[in-house]
Structures are given as C-alpha cells and as structure tokens.
Amino acid sequence: MEKKVYFKGIALPYLLLLPQIVVTGLFFFWPAAQAVRQSFLREDAFGLSSQFVGFENFVDVLSDPTWLDSAFRTLIFSASVAVLALGVALFLAVQADKHIRGADTYKTLLIWPYAVAPAIAAVLWLFMFHPNIGIFGRMLNALGVPWDYKLNGNQAMLLIIFAAAWKQVSYNFIFFLAGLQSIPKSVLEAAAIDGARPMRRFWTVVFPLLSPTAFFLLVVNLVYAFFDTFGIIHSLTQGGPGKATETLIYRVYTDGVMNLNFGSSAAQSVILMILVIVLTMVQFRYVERKVHY
C-alpha cells in the first residue's frame, strides 16, 4: 500500500530519517558486521595479531560437545517455557472470557505481571525456593526432598523454567483473550444449538479459530525463551551448577565477556543471528498471510 498524494522535498525526509539511521548504523549494523568479521578470525594468545581462519571457528563451535549440550539444553528449556506459558495462559484466558461477575478485575490481576522484568521474576522465585530462606525450599527439605538448586542441576533447570514461564503467562493471556473476544458469538451459538458440549465447542470451534494467535505466540515465546531469559539465568544460577543451566545466549556471554574468547564468541553470535533471522521471517510470513485454518 502506498500513498498517492505526498509532499515534495528531498532534504527534509532524509533529515527526518537521519537519527534512526545513525543509531542503527552505529549500534546495530556496524557491530553485527564486526561479529561476522571476527567469526572468521583467530587471535594469538596475547591478542596482538589475528589471522583469517575461514570457517574454523564455526567448525570448532559446532563440533564442541559442550556447545551441543548447551544447544540441546536450550531446546528443552525453550520448549518447556513455551508449552507451560502458553498452556496456562490459554486456560486462564478461556475462563476470563466467560460471562462472570468481576471479569475485569480478574483481567487486571492477571495482566500486571507483564511489567515484571525477567530478572525480577527470577528474584521472586528465589525468595520462594531458596533452600534456607524460601518457604517452599524449606518445605521441600522438611518433607525429605533434598532441595538445593545451587547443587542440583535438574532442580536449577526446573526453577528457571518456572520463573521464565511465570513471567510470560500474562503476555500470552492478553493475546489469547483478544483472540477469544474476536470470535463471533454467532458461531459459538450455532455450535451450541447443534448440541455441541462446551469441551467439544472449544476443540472444534474455538481452538481452530485461535490457532493463528497460538502460532504467533509460539514463535514469540521461543524468541523470549532464547534471548530474553538471560537475566533470569544470570541472577538465579549463573549458568550453574556446573553448566546445568547454561543456554546458548548465556554461553556467548561467558565465552566473550568472561573468558575473552572472541573468535568463538563471534562464531556463536553469528549462528544465533541466523536463528533470529529465521524466527523473525517465520513470524512475519505469518503476519503477511494471516493464515486461517
């Protein structure tokens, strides 16, 4: 879609675009290009000179079993967060969409966690599940379950999954509720008159009509779990114990910022960049087409 009527002038539009172009050029494109360049270079032990090594950094990363472990762990983590956050949000949205007293109050009380930063969500869960000061952490230990997420990798993973999903539910809830409200009431009434029970109505009418929203949210949730959960991991487990909660993003950070292994960090960055590009394209392809099943 394009406008047929527009203003004359060449200098003014460039001037209007200038701030955004300068910022994206300096802080997005230049560093991204540097990351790509560095991913093909390797520095000597003293950081004095670097030489072109082709795809060696990529080969090293992709054949490193600990990197593959991180990749697998990230997959498990992201899938768990997405499924949990989407499932709970859909269930609550269906309940809140019914004609009941106080529906608006429920909505407000379910929407506010959107404002909570991932890192703060992690801190709140730490207050609950700390083995010594957390109410549930102590409860578990008192019940004979040896609970300490700082020693047990699986427990640490479980904790970051719950904290990450907890924070994301409200976002999904808002979108599912908007999706539910856009379903024409006449369609549901027709199904009810045909004798479809509520559960059947949900799976045969409501859910298929919601599936575009659900698909969109699935992509958004995966992106969230991949990239925006850095704060959760950094504040709760620092990737530990051992490497039990080290996701790919966390690894780029440790290899680059802590271990100063620039070539490898850059190669990992480029791999992740390709992943974001694919996910974003999937998301926008969907928007262009507006699939209805």
Partner 1 sequence: MSVSVTELADRTRRRQRREAFVTHACLVLGVLIFAFPIYLTIIGSTHDVNTIGRGDVPLVPGGEAVANYTQAWGVGGGRFMGVPAGVMLLNSIIMAICVAVGKIAISLTSAYAVVFFRFPLRMLFFWLIFITLMLPVEVRIIPTIQVMVDLNMTNSYQGLIIPLVASATATLLFRQFFLTIPDEYVEAAKIDGAGPIRFFLDVILPLSRTNIAALFVILFIYGWNQYLWPLLIVNDRSMETVVVGLTKMIGSGDSQNEWNVIMATAVLALLPPVAVVVLMQRWFVKGLTETEK
Residues 22-51 that bind partner 1 (CB under 8 A): 23-24, 26-32, 34-35, 38
Residue type, 272: L
Q: Does 285 bind partner 1 (CB under 8 A)?
A: no
| Identity of the residue, 70 or 256, whose beta carbon is nearer to partner 1 in the bound complex | 256
Considering only residues 223 through 242, tell me which ones interact with partner 1, judged by CB under 8 A: 227, 230-231, 234-235, 238
Is there a contact between 272 and 248 (Cβ–Cβ < 8 Å)? yes
Binding flag, residue 170, partner 1 (CB under 8 A): yes
Residues 73-92 that bind partner 1 (CB under 8 A): 88, 91-92
The token pair that represents 226 in the structure block: 């991949």
Least Cα distance to 201 among 209, 191, 214 occurs for 191
Residue 112 C-beta: closest distance to partner 1, Å: 5
Cβ proximity of 134 and 127 under 8 Å: yes
Nearest-approach distance from CB 72 to partner 1, in angstroms:
19
115 binds partner 1 (CB under 8 A): yes
Q: At what angle do helices 30-38 and 262-289 cross, to 10 degrees?
A: 130
The least distance separating partner 1 from the CB of residue 99, rounded to whole angstroms, comes to 9
Enclosing H/E stretch for 183: none
Can residue 273 be called a binding residue for partner 1 (CB under 8 A)? yes
Of 190 and 277, the one with the shorter C-beta distance to partner 1 is 277
Subset of 117-136 contacting partner 1 (CB under 8 A): 117-120, 122-128, 130, 132-135
Indicate the Cα dihedral angle 287, 231, 271, 53, nearest 10°: 150
Near partner 1 by CB under 8 A, which window of 1-9, 48-56, 57-65, 66-74? 1-9
Number of residues that bind partner 1 (CB under 8 A): 95
Q: How far apart are the first and last CA of the chain?
A: 26
Are the C-beta atoms of residues 171 and 197 closer than 8 Å to each other? no
